Structure 1
Amino acid sequence: MPGRTASSTARTRRTTSTKNLRNSSPVTEVPDEGPDSSLRRAVCTAFADSQKSTAAHRKTCIALRKLQESCCYEVSSSKKKQTEEFDADDFNREVIRCILRILPVKKAEPVGDRVVRFLGTFLNEASQKDNEILQQDADDDALPETPTSVLTTQILSTLLPLLQAKDKTIRFRATQITSHLINSLDTLDDTMFQQLRFRLLKRIHDKEAPVRLQAVYGLGRLAAEVEDEEDEDSDSDDEVGAGVLAKLLNILQNDPAAEVRRNLLLNLPLTKDVLPYLLERARDADSTTRRALYGHLLPGLGDFRHLSLTHREKLLRWGLRDRDEAVRKATAKLFCERWIEDCAALPAAQTSEEGEQDKDGKKVPVASLDALLELLERIDVVNSGIDGGIALVAMYEFWKGRSDYVDYVSFPDNFWEDLSPELAFVARTFNDFCRTAGPEDYFGPRPLIEMAEEKLPEVTKFGFLLEREIKNLIDAAMLAATEEEDADVEEDLHHREFVVEQMLQMALTFDYSDEVGRRKMYALMRNSLALPDLPEEVTRLAVEVLRLVCGEDNKGERDFCGVVLEAIAEVHDTIMGEDDGTDADSTEDSFHSATSQPDEDDTIVVAQRKAKRAKKELDPQAEADKAVREIMVNMKCLHIAMCMLQNVQCDIEENVHLVTMLNTLVVPAVRSQEAPVRERGLMCLGLCCLLGKNLAQENLTVFLHCFAKGAPALQATALQIITDILVTHPTLLSDPAASDDSESEAKGTQKLITKAYKKSLGSNDGNVQSTGAIALSKAMLSRLITDTDLLKQLVVTYFDPDSANNPQFRQSLSYFLPVYCHSNAENAIRMAEITCSIISRLHTLRETYLEDAEVEEDAGNGDMVKMNLIGQMLLDWTDPRKIVGFAESANVVDAAAGAAQTHYIVAENVLERLVTSQPHKDEKKVLFSMLNKLHLPANGADPERVKTVLELCAEAVETKVSPTITDKNYLTKIQNNLIKIMHDYATEERGGGGAEETVLETTEVDDEGETTVHVVHGAEDEEEEDLDSDVTQLQQDMKDATIGATTVGFTTGIPDAEGTRIEMEDSEMMDVDD
């Protein structure tokens, strides 16, 4: 019987241990709340009813108010017997007792919110009734003390200590009740006001976002009050001295919780000092907060004209270009409805007497052209209405959202008599909307194209109108040249230029099938280009209109080039003729030469001419003026030539006009000593190279030389030209039909180009660096540059903290790197091969960054991305599931050649790094975290690569490179699943399985360290059981055998169809070449 005795002893010991454990647990002491009473039951019933539904709150408030009156005021004799034993303190005590029961209710429970709402409603109504009762006795200079005010003070005094409770639920409910009471009541005691401010200011820094949300909700009401001086007890807390409003504005800018920022946005007072902080939320990271600004705050702000011009422009630009569609719609609605009605308020009030009203009795807004013009003026359409400006987007949304204005606006003759910038912009945007909008953008009775043809003038009439405006522009330009530093003249010139630009933009959309109108526009554009005072933007648009008028065929292109070259020659003669033909000395010299005596010695005449020429050359002012004039004429002619080259597509060698321009204008400009002329000439030469491969091949070294020796601006231009040439003529780097000499020359050129790209990425100039990144992105996406070292440098520079102050560089690469890897399997493999070296390089870079004494203090500012995040980004870029063309489905193994082996390559490189090197512990931690995220699809790599990874994994397990048990488990699980994949290969080689065997198998290690294996089988159940047993046996054998230099061999217990066993020797597993 000893066994029974021992068992009984064990049970007795366990029972005693459990009893001692229970005895050691703390016992919650329930405080004495006094005997039960009818008042307690009535108050509890009211609070119980309040949590069921908000619909019965008013009825419950009336019942609870009757209880309060019966306890605080004298009642009739019939009810006195029932309530005579209870007073105001008893009622307050029971209410507070019920409030304390709300505090443990979690945030997710709606009953707690209902009770809080009921409490605020009750105290508000009870306070109003108390004031009515005591109104005749109340002193005007002091607030009377009422039963409800006493109850409110006791409730807040009870909750104030609980605002700092350890339990987050208690803190949340206490802060919620306090803030709700502050916003529900009209008056507060001064002492309580200071205590609330002190306590709530501490809660705005609470670690729980819901607590901070409720704290700022209560402080938002206090912020509107006049702030008192520092509290006497504030010496113990440094933050209390600061104003409530200043701290709330700081929370508005820096709180990580979007709901906290949104609550402040909607509850802070709308003052002049606070408004700029509120408008900043238009760039908030949370889309709901941005939508709250555009959908709620700004429509209720009042007249938008009180905002500054900068704020109006920024709000429109940020809202209409927001990534969230709801924000864009809210901004468009704000512009189309609220802002236009602010401008139309006075005209609408004047015309509303005859007026239309909608079903709700509201006045229907009346379309007004004057209001529209004022709106455009308020957003500075002259500056925001250029190409790419936000006014174009705003007006498109306006025409789309206000179909009444589309039907209302018209363009009679008096409309064009004195065009202002706003009128011209209305006509231009109306024309663009009618010609580009879809049927879903307008629901009117007539098609938009038909409406545009009817309302706008025909081409011939439009040509005369445009001719008049161009003449006004030239007159204004000549006046501005004579009247220096006259602001009004400069503004008028700017307005005239904007009007002509808008009309030329309209001309680009017209149909020139009418021969009369086409000839008018043809002559007008030809004559306009010959004007030397025509601004550059107007010149560009005039060239585009002329190209459209000449026709799209080859004949029209040759005609276009001839006309433009004639204009260039005329501009050159006009400007330089002012120096040669109107010179007084030249005129006098010619006169004396013509009237000299016939018998005068020729040498004397020649000597006189030389003396005058020498005198003229010695005049420094004349020489300076002539040099400036030469620069001006070259810049003007080169600009016209550049605009022409941007609108032609023919081969440059087949167009005699282009060859002439190249030899007489472009080449001398490239050789010029003046930097602006040389840079513009280089751009023209680059455009010419795009039209001819031979010319590009001859001048590619010129652009490389300009990049190597030029200034930063010239370097950026040269990089753009080189990349455009390579994309247009890709055979310059690799031509399959080229000879050996040409091929060697192409390799040399490619080496120089690669060197230029590397130099641009390491440039100290931000513009050159960002231009180099964008240019290299184009070349790599076009598969013109496949250098892995260059790709590695690109990625390392992307994460380098020195590039943090170059947002254009990082933004361009943020788009390029994932697109580059996911668009092509070869690109992803290329990235996978350098992943491990990138991690090693960046770790060294981060160590250097943190060792710097000046940077170490700011190491947490986020300039250097954390290594774990870098590893996850690299894995995401090389994820085979995201590569275009990869199909991990049944019977599709090589949908994208090599796409499935990217993470096998990463695993091989990471394991090799862990086994053959001694990385730093931080780097090793990153590498193991990457192994945990690998996705290894079945049949994703060839057996040799899988075997290599398996050997490295086994060696890593043997050498104990894993610093923790978790990392060791990762290696073991990956190793076992790689063995299973090898088993599938072995089965397939023996002829087993086939289509009925394993179709799809994926090895992926989850976050928790568990390896998930997805297997889809098509065989019978018996075959599945055999396969499971084989895998189990194989894993058991693997535990007893180690693949490495000291391993003799191991045997896999995998029976084939005849019951034999296949022995795999160590030499076979280790010999990768076999």
Structure 2
Amino acid sequence: MAPAMPLPTVELCFAKAQGSFANHRKCIESLDVLRSSSPHDFDAEFFACITCILPIGKREPAIERLVEFVVQFTTTLGAESDVDNDFVQTLVLRLLEFTDSKDKAVRFRATQLVGRVFNSMKEDAEISDELFEAVFSKMVERCRDKIPSVRAFGARALFRLQDPTSAHDQITLELLRLMSEDASKEVRMAATSTVAPSKHAIAAIVDRTRDVAADVRVHALRILRDKVEMRWLSISQRAYVLGTSLVDRDERVVSSARELLISAWLRKCSDNDVLKLFKALDVVAHEAEAQLALDVLLSEKHTRELISAASTQWQVSGPNQLEAVFCLRSLLNALSLNAAHGGAAAADELEQLAPELPEYCKALQTAVAMREDAARSPTVVQASFTLAQMLAVGSKLDMANEHGRYQLEQILSRLIKSISTPVDLLAPLFSTLRAAHAGDLESFQRLVMELISEIEEPLESEEVDFAIGTRRRRTEADLRLQHEQSVMLNQAKLGELVGEIKLAVEEEDFEKAAALKKEAAILKDSLKTMIGVNGDDADSALRISRCLRLCALMLGSCDVKLAEHELSELIARFLPSIQSPSPEQRALAIKCLGLTCSSSVKHAKQFFAVLVTSVRHDQEDVQIAALSAIFDLLLIHSPSSFFTRSDSTVAATSGALLAPREDAHARELSSLLLPILSQSSATLQRLAACGLCKLMHSDAVRSTSLYARLLLIYFQADSVCMGEQRLALKQILAVFFMAGSRAKDLCEALMPAFRTALAAAPGSPDAGVRIDSMLNFVIAISKSDGHDSSGSTTLHQELALVFLFEAAHAPEEEEGKILPKCLLQLDLDSVPRAQLEVMVWLLRKIEAGVIDKAAVKSLGKTLARVEGLLHATASTAGISAEASKDVEKMARAGLDAQRFLRESDEDVANARRAERAREMEDAEAEVRLTPKKDKRKLARSKATPGHL
């Protein structure tokens, strides 16, 4: 009989397991046999082998295979008997003791093993309260470890311990904290994967789709795809995810969002029903996000066919018609765009899918009738949206059918003339009407002018019942005549009552006079109602607004060209509305005036003063319209067409370094824009800054003072909750400062902005400017630009001298405290010897007057650096005696030029004088209000001279 084979040791099993995953099954069986033969010795030897893994923190394949081996063995046993559960508990509790180790590798491996063991246990596994509490406390503590990998595995270890049903569960709250606050993207990804998708956790997962790290955004989208059903998300959350992720700058995020939309939401949640998907997205409330999703579906061949099939239901009145019309409009837009770029297949498909004109006109009449029926019901928004989509479809149709085209033109004209048509439908109506004329711009312009005339002075009004197809006309002139007759009759009666009141007073019949006064008051109220709200004034205001909107649409069309007499006729129509008491009408009239002046420099010069007056003295909406028109005119016709030339200040300051530059039109433009840039309205400030950036970028204007104002706005202190306008303004300025070669302009504007910030009154926006950030920003921009326009010196050389000249004038004030600290950031390696000597002279002069310790330290370092450069220059080129004699002369000349710039800045000088006067007044008031203390007499000394 052959002798029995010796049992393998635990160490041998571990050695085999680390070689390959294929050995794990046999090694687990061997360990099971060993444990059955001697449980106590096995546990000690098994854990001894585990402790050999713990100090190895590097993610080597062999160690990862051993971790997987330990997890498989432990969890396989742990689900069979009470003894095995005890083994799991003993192992985990011993591992938890190592989670507090000083060695980060030991903490990492112990946390990893605990988490892997817990997450690999069967779904119906149970653990003791002791083990639950121990793991909970230790893993929550590891979630705040200083090592990111330990925090990540600590979060994963809490997966089976959380309670998704409770919004106040401590583990869930800790995971949500890690998702939103942890600095490591690995930890945020681990927490996102670990947290159970409950109602309160889904919102946090959705927020991670806007994480700063692209990897986290991709991971969050995959979690939404794999673990979260679309019905668990609110409509706003669905729209938020698509609206932000489909336009992400990272292609991986966009790809993940496309997978979420197509694979999860369309196929799994909507059963490939496109109309069901868009109903879940609510295309009315979230049209932009739904359009992004539809564009994605149109870009894929298999989903494009689904869109095409869904769009065939656009005529079917029912719950899905809205989404079907939306799909048809987007599909026709995509096909027409491809056909315009030479796609023959797209042109053929467009011809097949586009409805015929008679069929379309019938459906359009039905949509109009549905919208009229829903005018006073909650479904009016949906009906209006459907009608707007139907109108957009009309602009893509073939207009070869003359009868259908005429029918369409009549429907559109009636809708435009009707003052009950919503304002938001005017743009699609106008676009479809232009398409109905099939390129005949002359007839289109003539029709629009006729419509404007009819709206302004209607001859008759139509009531059209599209469902029945009958027309009932009533003459509006008769209605107006009846109204005027009623007004005249009441006015005549009021005049008679006034006469009777006078007669009753003369006869001293005061009771009769009082009764007549009451009757007259009632009649006056009736007249006010007839003439005011329910009379011609309200109807006339609506018609004027409709005319102004049509004028704006026509004038804003790039291909519409009006003759001079037609422009004059339009101006005559909307010019009186500039004096209207309604801000809305004034804003529309200003917009029309600006569009008219854009096409005619003659009218632009004539009415430019009107626009300027509206910007300075009108309501905010009117100011916005006028300011937009002014910038358009300045960009189209140039500032020289509107502003008188003024003497430039460049010649007066040509001896100074980085002297301000103002062109011939800068003074008048500054007087117009600086008050707007300094006011509190965020919308006007953003609009003015954006327009000014466009003017400067196109070299239409050059102004250092305006550039300095933009620099100050950009570095003003931000509030905790910045509005959208403020965020947009900062983004515009950031793009403008970095676009093109702006370093020279920034350097010239730096000192005026610096002086303005120092002289700002307490509490003003300029007082909150982050001066250090502004200086560092300009230094960084100018470093990459290199040489100035002349090529002789670098901008850093000029900045160094300007900083020294400025600090030398006030070394004991803020200039001497702030500017010396910036000198260490400047690149001075290529400075000529003459300038180095001037710098040394200035540095020693400033050092003698500076009080601030940090500034003195910076000056000392800069002086040592400059002297080192000076000695290096002397060793290679030799010392010029003549240049050394002229150092003081050159330095004083620069100081005089800089003094001239400081004194020429009147606003800053006045602000400084006012600030000093205020400080003196405060000091005098403090002395005046401080109560005087009584004087005390000194005690007599025994050895006083009087007693000697």
Q: TM-score range by the shorter chain?
A: 0.7 to 0.9
1:217 aligns with 2:132: no
What's 1:1054 paired with? 877
Query: Cα 1:267–1:126, aligned 2, differ >3 Å: closer, same or farther?
Result: same
Find the partner of 2:51 among 100, 104, 113. 100
1:834 aligns with 2:736: no
> Structure 2 counterpart of 1:772, which letter?
A
Find the partner of 2:362 among 446, 468, 487. 468
What's 1:376 paired with? 278
Q: How does 1:318-357 map to 2 (within 5 A)?
A: 318-342=244-268, 345=271
Query: Cα 1:590–1:836, aligned 2, differ >3 Å: closer, same or farther?
Result: closer
Query: Cα 1:519–1:655, aligned 2, differ >3 Å: closer, same or farther?
Result: farther
What's 1:266 paired with? 193
How big is the shift at 1:778? 2.2
Q: Deviations over 1:946-993 (max 9, x none)?
A: 84366225643786577587875566446655x5xxxxxxxxxxxxxx
- C-alpha contact 1:907 1:934 (8 A) present in aligned 2: yes
How big is the shift at 1:259? 1.7
Mapped to 2, the partners of 1:190 and 1:922 lie a distance apart of 67
Mapped to 2, the partners of 1:839 and 1:902 lie a distance apart of 17
> Structure 2 counterpart of 1:562, which letter?
R
Find the partner of 2:781 among 867, 877, 896. 877
Q: Deviations over 1:998-1036 (max 9, x none)?
A: xxxxxxxxxxxxxxxxxxxxxxxxxxxxxxxxxxxx518
How big is the shift at 1:845? 8.2
Mapped to 2, the partners of 1:211 and 1:97 lie a distance apart of 22
Mapped to 1, the partners of 2:307 and 2:44 lie a distance apart of 69
How big is the shift at 1:191? 0.6
The alignment partner of 2:479 has SS state of coil
Find the partner of 1:430 among 331, 347, 366. 331
Find the partner of 2:592 among 684, 705, 708. 684
What's 2:468 paired with? none
The alignment partner of 1:635 has SS state of helix
> Structure 2 counterpart of 1:301, which letter?
V
What's 1:1065 paired with? 883
How big is the shift at 1:340? 2.1
What's 1:13 paired with? none
Mapped to 2, the partners of 1:505 and 1:54 lie a distance apart of 62
Mapped to 2, the partners of 1:49 and 1:625 lie a distance apart of 95
Identity of aligned residues (%): 20
1:948 aligns with 2:766: no
Mapped to 1, the partners of 2:296 and 2:243 lie a distance apart of 13
How big is the shift at 1:531? 3.3
1:656 aligns with 2:565: yes
> Structure 2 counterpart of 1:875, which letter?
I
Mapped to 2, the partners of 1:63 and 1:439 lie a distance apart of 73
> Structure 2 counterpart of 1:298, which letter?
R
Q: How does 1:363-512 map to 2 (within 5 A)?
A: 371-385=273-287, 389-403=288-302, 405-406=304-305, 409=308, 416=315, 418=317, 420-437=321-338, 447-457=345-355, 461-462=356-357, 464-476=358-370, 478-479=372-373, 484=376, 486-487=377-378, 491=379, 493-510=380-397
- C-alpha contact 1:182 1:221 (8 A) present in aligned 2: yes
Q: Deviations over 1:629-688 (max 9, x none)?
A: 222111111111111111156776x4322211211x211110112222112111111211
1:180 aligns with 2:64: no
> Structure 2 counterpart of 1:471, which letter?
Q
How big is the shift at 1:589? 7.9
The alignment partner of 1:718 has SS state of helix
Mapped to 2, the partners of 1:630 and 1:243 lie a distance apart of 65
What's 1:355 paired with? none
Find the partner of 1:763 among 679, 703, 706. 679
What's 1:743 paired with? none
How big is the shift at 1:183? 1.7
Mapped to 1, the partners of 2:189 and 2:569 lie a distance apart of 65
Query: Cα 1:225–1:800, aligned 2, differ >3 Å: closer, same or farther?
Result: closer
1:647 aligns with 2:546: no
What's 2:621 paired with? 713
- C-alpha contact 1:217 1:263 (8 A) present in aligned 2: yes
- C-alpha contact 2:838 2:888 (8 A) present in aligned 1: yes
> Structure 1 counterpart of 2:571, which letter?
L
What's 1:82 paired with? none
- C-alpha contact 2:459 2:477 (8 A) present in aligned 1: no
- C-alpha contact 2:308 2:328 (8 A) present in aligned 1: no
Find the partner of 2:34 among 67, 86, 93. 67
- C-alpha contact 1:733 1:750 (8 A) present in aligned 2: no
Query: Cα 1:651–1:301, aligned 2, differ >3 Å: closer, same or farther?
Result: closer
Moved more, 277-286 or 960-969: 960-969
Query: Cα 1:821–1:284, aligned 2, differ >3 Å: closer, same or farther?
Result: closer
The alignment partner of 1:331 has SS state of helix
Query: Cα 1:439–1:112, aligned 2, differ >3 Å: closer, same or farther?
Result: farther
Mapped to 2, the partners of 1:198 and 1:428 lie a distance apart of 58
- C-alpha contact 1:839 1:923 (8 A) present in aligned 2: no
1:201 aligns with 2:140: yes
Moved more, 582-591 or 813-822: 582-591
- C-alpha contact 1:343 1:372 (8 A) present in aligned 2: no
Higher relative CO (Cα under 8 Å, sequence separation at least 6) belongs to 2
Query: Cα 1:226–1:59, aligned 2, differ >3 Å: closer, same or farther?
Result: farther
Query: Cα 1:904–1:527, aligned 2, differ >3 Å: closer, same or farther?
Result: farther
- C-alpha contact 1:557 1:648 (8 A) present in aligned 2: no
Mapped to 1, the partners of 2:50 and 2:841 lie a distance apart of 64
1:316 aligns with 2:242: yes
**Over aligned residues, Cα RMSD in angstroms?**
4.4
How big is the shift at 1:399? 1.6
Mapped to 1, the partners of 2:137 and 2:116 lie a distance apart of 17
- C-alpha contact 1:575 1:629 (8 A) present in aligned 2: no
Mapped to 2, the partners of 1:478 and 1:253 lie a distance apart of 49
Q: How does 1:36-51 map to 2 (within 5 A)?
A: 42-51=9-18
Moved more, 673-682 or 710-719: 710-719
The alignment partner of 1:764 has SS state of coil
Query: Cα 1:470–1:974, aligned 2, differ >3 Å: closer, same or farther?
Result: farther
How big is the shift at 1:829? 0.7
> Structure 2 counterpart of 1:660, which letter?
E
What's 2:872 paired with? 1035
> Structure 1 counterpart of 2:244, which letter?
W
Mapped to 2, the partners of 1:263 and 1:801 lie a distance apart of 36
How big is the shift at 1:751? 3.8
Mapped to 2, the partners of 1:757 and 1:449 lie a distance apart of 50
- C-alpha contact 1:561 1:657 (8 A) present in aligned 2: no
What's 2:171 paired with? 244
What's 2:129 paired with? 190
How big is the shift at 1:414? 7.6
How big is the shift at 1:284? 1.9
> Structure 1 counterpart of 2:593, which letter?
L
What's 2:430 paired with? 543
The alignment partner of 2:198 has SS state of coil
- C-alpha contact 1:469 1:499 (8 A) present in aligned 2: no
The alignment partner of 1:102 has SS state of coil
Query: Cα 1:936–1:560, aligned 2, differ >3 Å: closer, same or farther?
Result: farther
Q: Deviations over 1:864-889 (max 9, x none)?
A: 897765544333433434xxxx8xxx
Mapped to 2, the partners of 1:833 and 1:293 lie a distance apart of 47
The alignment partner of 1:298 has SS state of helix
- C-alpha contact 2:574 2:589 (8 A) present in aligned 1: yes
Q: Deviations over 1:746-802 (max 9, x none)?
A: 999854542342222332233223223323322332233432222222222222224
The alignment partner of 2:680 has SS state of coil
> Structure 2 counterpart of 1:217, which letter?
R
TM-score normalized with structure 2 length: 0.76
